[in-house]
Amino acid sequence: MLTSNRRRNLYYCESLETTVELWHLGHIEVDIARTRYQLEREAMQEARYIRIYNDEFGESHFDDLVVGLPPVDFAPPAPPLNFARLFPAKDWGFLGVPADWAGDVPHSSPRRQVFCFLAGEFEVTASDGSRRSFQPGNVLLLEDTSGKGHSTRILGPQQGLIVTISLQD
């Protein structure tokens, strides 16, 4: 049995024999074919991030997203690394947040951007009332550029540090 993920052009075959047969017939390229056994052994690395966005009524919501990181020749001749290209970036910078800062007044994101939290702990509240905490290592995609927005506050005594990446429109 052969199943295909057309978005990535990967083919999942039940057996090695099926893979070889389809390759000989010219139906698939051998370098993009994987048996189910190989897929289980190679368990693709994943990255997780959270998205905040607004719906057609202006209400902001969170969404948990997972992206697979397939092996690619990222830095030849070094061995392949796991990588997924996500969004074209316009610019990036560091954002320092004082420990006593409070963005309690609901606000929209001024642009589509990604926050990579480096220091401090933050709490973000969407306009639908749901809350999420962000700590160093977390990633947030901000797409609520209109509508009711969200509120943000820093938790604890430590100042925050965020890498902010502005995305192209």
pLDDT digits (tens, 9 = 90+) for 95-137: 999 999 989 999 999 999 999 999 999 999 999 999 999 999 9
Residue 81 has pLDDT above 80, yes or no: yes
State how beta strands 131-134 and 45-54 pair: unpaired
Of 12 and 57, the structure prediction assigns the larger pLDDT to 57
The conformational region for residue 129 under phi > 0 = left, psi -120 to 50 = alpha, else beta, is: left
Q: Mean of the pLDDT values across residues 35-50?
A: 73
Query: Which of the four pLDDT bands, split at 50, 70 and 90, describes residue 27?
Result: low
pTM: 0.74
Strands 71-72 and 81-82: antiparallel
Q: Within the chain, which residue ranges are assigned CATH 2.60.120.10? A: 45-167
Q: How many CB atoms lie within 10 A of CB 151?
A: 17
- CATH number for region 45-167: 2.60.120.10
In the predicted structure, residue 158 carries a pLDDT above the cut 50: yes
Q: Given this model, what pLDDT does residue 102 score?
A: 85
Contact 163, 92 (CB under 8 A): yes
pLDDT score recorded for residue 169: 82
Of 154, 102, 112, 107, give the one whose Cα is nearest residue 127: 107
**pLDDT level of residue 1 (50, 70, 90 thresholds):** very low
Q: Mean pLDDT of all residues in the chain?
A: 84
Q: Which residue has the tokens 């992206």?
A: 67
